[in-house]
């Protein structure tokens, strides 16, 4: 009977992929006109609030626009990048509507930032240093070495990186890549590297690949272990399903948005683990700062002493950054972050030029020091004042509601909440020190949303009565309250279309008012999905195949353990050997107490079963790149021992597709 269970069926159960997945559509909703997206017009209250923002800030200050345009060599007005199958990877002309005065449906401060981020092309930063901006969410920087280009942060996707380097070579000369620097472990700063340099070329020419310590581990762990949930939430944070219109996505604040193409990575040849590490790379002197646990778990900045030029990576940028990112990630340490910026001032305080991984440069020592000091003090202020208020017993929601930056910081545009916000950053500081519980017993074990929603609706006297009160609040412009109360009704009765539409309209207005690009996108995507439902496609792992090949095998096994259905596994004990035949590496998987543990060691001779597979086939099955029919006759997989036990084992694992609901139960 054991021989009747196909080997590939076992692996399909293991990896949750029975056939190749279709590539998820790019920029879903980007071409929808506003009436199809369903957005309502901005209300009188929203228009008035946005007008008050325009009066409170010096939006006409031209300095940032002068800096963003300075050094422009060339710009491609038709900058549009497509994938191999014609899918849209990047589309700058789609943002052409972001011009002139802010419409009533966009916070004018965010509109100003979006206009600045529309300025794109190839720029000279200083002699021998260039930037390609507007080819992706991040910038690609080029430093001229003796033999070629030292490339800093080769963007998110292979396709956009290839287009960017080709544009640079067209105007600067066809020089090879002589080195690559990854400033940190977020994908928009390394994912496009194979568009500028193949692994074979890197190996053949011994191209230096410089990265901060723990780079590979941090770059891959986040995307593999928690990637499904983060990717679903990123659809909200970056507005990937929204039309590019005055009532839709206008930009992320940090840039326009991330490219969604093919992702890869290269193993570093040298890592930076100590501040003031000095290297000469292709004839150019560098002094590195190691800044782990700042904006990313693995991050560096660097100084070019001969040019008095400082690259701040993403430790500093022209917006308040996230201490907690809405897609979900480990909370960042505001105090440590501020300390790194203070260290930069001490080490590289004679800098005459600043450039970063996002936005535009700053020139002049006095202006650079002022920029750095205000960034430094913003993060420390949030840290210290959140703790001060917590010492008085205030809870996260109370702290975030009353915390305000001093005028010297809040009127500085680089400290505005275009990406991170003061409100959710204050909550992040509280979470870092005190966790999710605010100390109030009522919040220790609250009812789940669906049950609480039903009771709130009952308490309000029924759905009709709740909607009547919520509509009155909407008419008064109290959109936060509308969102809070109608959300209860939607979770109690998700089929109530009147409730869904009223909640969507409240989200429309909150989105129009938001100064933060991610807050706007979160609200408007919530409204979009209330009207049109969730995505049809799940997460497309195949596009990240080149990155997954470099990931430590332990990360996949950690992810596997996180998918074990604990209740289903209760009372079951098994041992399975997983042998990667081409790598000469084996792991023993032990299931006990509803927990899966993995050990890198020789196969257990008493295991229930042994699965022998090549690394490449494992990844292809894991990403859905090949299915059962493609591998029926493969020699790359073999099962020894009890196939029935192996099937039972793999049936204990969930197979999430990344399409879970967010704004409805």
pLDDT score of 81: 97
Whole-number Å distance between alpha carbons of 31 and 23: 18
Q: Residue for token digits 């300095």?
A: 63
pLDDT score of 641: 95
**What percent of the chain lies above the pLDDT cut of 70?**
93
Backbone angles phi, psi at 236, to 5 degrees: -75, -50
Q: Do the domain assignments include residue 165?
A: yes
Phi and psi based region of residue 553 (left: phi greater than 0; alpha: psi -120 to 50; beta: remaining): alpha
CA-to-CA separations, 167 to 342, 357, 580, in angstroms, rounded: 36, 19, 42
Whole-number Å distance between alpha carbons of 385 and 394: 11
Whole-number Å distance between alpha carbons of 196 and 174: 12
Whole-number Å distance between alpha carbons of 258 and 656: 23
Whole-angstrom distance between the N-terminal and C-terminal Cα of the chain? 42
pLDDT score of 226: 81
Q: Do the domain assignments include residue 43?
A: no
- Mapping DSSP onto H, E and C, the string for 245-267 reads CCCCCCCCCCCCCCCCCCCCCCC
Contact 415, 405 (CB under 8 A): yes
Q: Find, among 619, 617, 589, the residue nearest to 603 by Cα.
A: 589
Q: Which residues contact 83 (CB under 8 A, 6 or more apart)?
A: 26, 89, 159, 261, 262
Whole-number Å distance between alpha carbons of 80 and 65: 23
Q: Do the domain assignments include residue 424?
A: no
Backbone angles phi, psi at 97, to 5 degrees: -70, -15
333, 199: one domain: yes
Helix (H, G, I), strand (E, B), or coil: what is residue 270? Answer: strand
Range of the domain at 578: 2-21+539-650
Helix (H, G, I), strand (E, B), or coil: what is residue 307? Answer: coil
Q: Which of 479, 512, 532 is the last residue of a domain?
A: 532
638, 510: one domain: no
pLDDT score of 633: 58
pLDDT digits (tens, 9 = 90+) for 362-410: 999 999 999 999 999 999 999 999 999 999 999 999 999 999 999 999 9
342, 252: one domain: yes
**Rounded to the nearest 10 degrees, what angle do helices 463-475 and 497-513 cross at?**
20
473, 335: one domain: no
249, 297: one domain: yes
Q: Which of 532, 557, 592 is the last residue of a domain?
A: 532
557, 627: one domain: yes
Whole-number Å distance between alpha carbons of 284 and 150: 9
The count of structural domains within the chain is: 3
Q: Residue for token digits 């497509």?
A: 82
Going along 65-120, which residue ranges are E strands?
Answer: 72-74, 80-82, 88-91
Output the furthest CA–CA distance in the chain (Å, rounded): 79
Whole-number Å distance between alpha carbons of 93 and 167: 17
DSSP string for residues in 136-151: SSS-EEEEE-SSSEEE
CATH number at residue 467: 1.25.40.880
Contact 393, 338 (CB under 8 A): no
Helix (H, G, I), strand (E, B), or coil: what is residue 583? Answer: coil
Whole-number Å distance between alpha carbons of 290 and 299: 6
Q: Which residues contact 495 (CB under 8 A, 6 or more apart)?
A: none
Strands 140-144 and 129-133: antiparallel
Q: Do the domain assignments include residue 395?
A: no
DSSP string for residues in 465-478: HHHHHHHHHHHTT-
528, 545: one domain: no
Q: Do the domain assignments include residue 665?
A: no
Whole-number Å distance between alpha carbons of 256 and 421: 17
Q: Find, among 251, 286, 288, the residue nearest to 97 by Cα.
A: 251
Q: Do the domain assignments include residue 227?
A: yes
pLDDT score of 18: 38
Whole-number Å distance between alpha carbons of 104 and 459: 37
pLDDT score of 625: 73
Query: How many CB atoms lie under 10 A from the CB of residue 459?
Result: 11
Whole-number Å distance between alpha carbons of 577 and 606: 10
Query: How many CB atoms lie under 10 A from the CB of residue 23?
Result: 15
What is the reported pTM? 0.93
552, 524: one domain: no
524, 569: one domain: no
- State both tokens at 330: 């480990």
- Mapping DSSP onto H, E and C, the string for 585-631 reads EEEEEEEECCEEEEEECCCCCCCCEEEEECHHHHHHHHCCCCCHHHC
Q: Do the domain assignments include residue 409?
A: no
pLDDT score of 129: 98
Mean pLDDT per 10-residue interval, the chain, length 665 residues: 39 44 38 60 98 96 98 97 92 97 98 98 98 98 98 97 98 97 96 97 97 93 80 94 96 95 95 98 98 96 98 98 93 97 98 98 98 98 97 97 96 97 98 95 96 97 98 98 98 98 98 98 97 85 76 88 94 96 95 97 97 88 67 74 92 89 95
pLDDT score of 33: 47
188, 227: one domain: yes
Q: Find, among 353, 435, 450, the residue nearest to 395 by Cα.
A: 435
Q: Which of 347, 379, 411 is the last residue of a domain?
A: 379
Please tell me what DSSP assigns to residue 331: P
Q: Do the domain assignments include residue 197?
A: yes
Give percent helix, percent strand, percent coil of the chain, each to the nearest 5.
45, 15, 40
Q: Residue for token digits 């002094």?
A: 287
Task: State the number of CA atoms in the 13 A half-sphere of 107 facing the CB.
Answer: 27
590, 486: one domain: no
CA-to-CA separations, 1 to 5, 6, 297, 464, 643, in angstroms, rounded: 8, 11, 50, 60, 9
Please tell me what DSSP assigns to residue 184: B
Whole-number Å distance between alpha carbons of 517 and 495: 30
pLDDT score of 29: 43
Whole-number Å distance between alpha carbons of 450 and 492: 5
Please tell me what DSSP assigns to residue 39: P
Phi and psi based region of residue 393 (left: phi greater than 0; alpha: psi -120 to 50; beta: remaining): left
* Dihedral sign from CA coordinates of 28, 32, 34, 36: negative
pLDDT score of 514: 98
CATH number at residue 375: 3.60.15.30
Helix (H, G, I), strand (E, B), or coil: what is residue 187? Answer: helix
Query: How many CB atoms lie under 10 A from the CB of residue 526?
Result: 23
* Dihedral sign from CA coordinates of 29, 32, 33, 39: negative
526, 572: one domain: no
pLDDT digits (tens, 9 = 90+) for 249-280: 999 999 999 998 999 999 999 999 999 999 99
Whole-number Å distance between alpha carbons of 120 and 115: 10
pLDDT digits (tens, 9 = 90+) for 625-639: 776 556 555 777 889
Q: Which residues of 344-372 are buried (b: 16+ CB within 10 A; e: fewer)?
A: beebbeebbbbbbbbbbbbbeeeebbebb
CATH number at residue 7: 3.30.1050.10
């Amino acid at each position: 009977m054991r021989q009747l269970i196909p080997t590939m069926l076992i692996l399909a159960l293991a990896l949750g992929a029975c056939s190749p997945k279709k590539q998820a559509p790019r920029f879903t909703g980007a071409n929808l006109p506003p009436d199809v997206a369903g957005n309502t017009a901005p209300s009188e209250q929203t228009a008035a609030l946005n007008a008050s923002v325009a009066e409170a800030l010096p939006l006409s200050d031209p300095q940032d626009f002068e800096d963003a345009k300075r050094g422009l060599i060339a710009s491609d007005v038709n900058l549009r990048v497509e994938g191999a199958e014609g899918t849209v990877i990047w589309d700058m002309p789609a943002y052409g509507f972001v011009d002139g005065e802010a419409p009533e449906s966009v916070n004018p401060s965010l509109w100003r930032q979006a206009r600045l981020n529309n300025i794109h092309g190839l720029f000279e930063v200083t002699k021998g240093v260039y930037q390609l901006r507007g080819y992706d969410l991040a910038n690609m920087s080029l430093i001229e070495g003796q033999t070629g280009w030292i490339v800093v942060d080769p963007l998110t996707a292979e396709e956009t990186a290839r287009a960017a380097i080709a544009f640079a070579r067209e105007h600067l000369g066809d020089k090879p890549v002589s080195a690559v620097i990854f400033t940190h472990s977020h994908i928009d700063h390394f994912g496009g590297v194979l568009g500028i340099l193949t692994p074979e070329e890197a190996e053949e020419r011994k191209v230096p690949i410089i990265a901060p310590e723990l780079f590979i581990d941090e770059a891959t762990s986040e995307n593999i272990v928690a990637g499904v949930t983060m990717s679903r939430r990123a659809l909200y944070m970056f507005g990937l399903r929204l039309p590019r219109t005055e009532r839709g996505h206008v930009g992320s604040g940090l840039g326009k948005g991330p490219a969604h193409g093919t992702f890869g990575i290269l193993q570093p040849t040298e890592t930076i683990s100590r501040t003031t590490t000095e290297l000469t790379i292709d004839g150019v002197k560098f002094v590195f700062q190691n800044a782990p646990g700042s904006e990313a778990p693995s991050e560096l900045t660097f100084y070019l002493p001969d040019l008095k030029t400082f690259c701040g990576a993403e430790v500093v940028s022209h917006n308040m950054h996230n201490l907690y990112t809405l897609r979900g990630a480990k909370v960042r340490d505001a105090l440590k972050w501020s300390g790194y910026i203070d260290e930069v001032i001490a080490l590289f305080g004679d800098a005459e030029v600043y450039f970063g991984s996002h936005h535009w440069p700053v020139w002049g020592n006095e202006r650079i020091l002022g920029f750095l000091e205000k960034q430094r003090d913003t993060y420390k202020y949030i840290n210290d004042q959140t703790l001060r208020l917590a010492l008085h017993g205030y809870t996260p929601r109370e702290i975030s509601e009353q915390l305000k930056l001093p005028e010297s910081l809040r009127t500085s545009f680089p400290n505005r909440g275009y990406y991170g916000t003061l409100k959710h950053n204050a909550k992040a500081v509280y979470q870092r020190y005190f966790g999710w519980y605010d100390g109030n017993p009522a919040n220790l074990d609250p009812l789940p949303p669906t049950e609480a929603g039903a009771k709130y609706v009952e308490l309000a006297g029924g759905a009709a009565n709740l909607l009547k009160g919520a509509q009155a609040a909407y008419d008064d412009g109290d959109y936060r309250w509308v969102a809070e109360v109608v959300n209860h009704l939607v979770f109690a009765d998700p089929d109530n279309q009147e409730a869904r539409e009223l909640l969507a309209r409240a989200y429309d207005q909150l989105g129009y008012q938001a100064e933060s690009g991610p807050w706007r996108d979160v609200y408007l995507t919530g409204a979009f999905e209330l009207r049109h439902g969730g995505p049809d496609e799940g997460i497309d792992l195949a596009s990240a195949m080149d990155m997954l090949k470099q990931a430590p095998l332990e990360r996949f096994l950690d992810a596997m353990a996180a998918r074990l259905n604990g209740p289903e596994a209760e009372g079951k004990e098994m041992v399975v050997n997983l042998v990667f035949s081409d790598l000469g590496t084996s792991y023993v998987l032990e299931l006990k107490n509803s927990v899966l543990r993995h050990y890198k060691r020789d196969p257990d001779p008493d295991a229930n079963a042994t699965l022998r597979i090549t690394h490449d086939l494992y990844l292809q099955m894991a990403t859905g790149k090949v299915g059962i029919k493609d591998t029926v006759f493969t020699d790359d997989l073999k099962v020894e021992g009890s196939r029935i036990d192996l099937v039972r084992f793999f049936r204990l694992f969930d197979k999430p597709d990344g399409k879970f609901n967010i704004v409805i139960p």
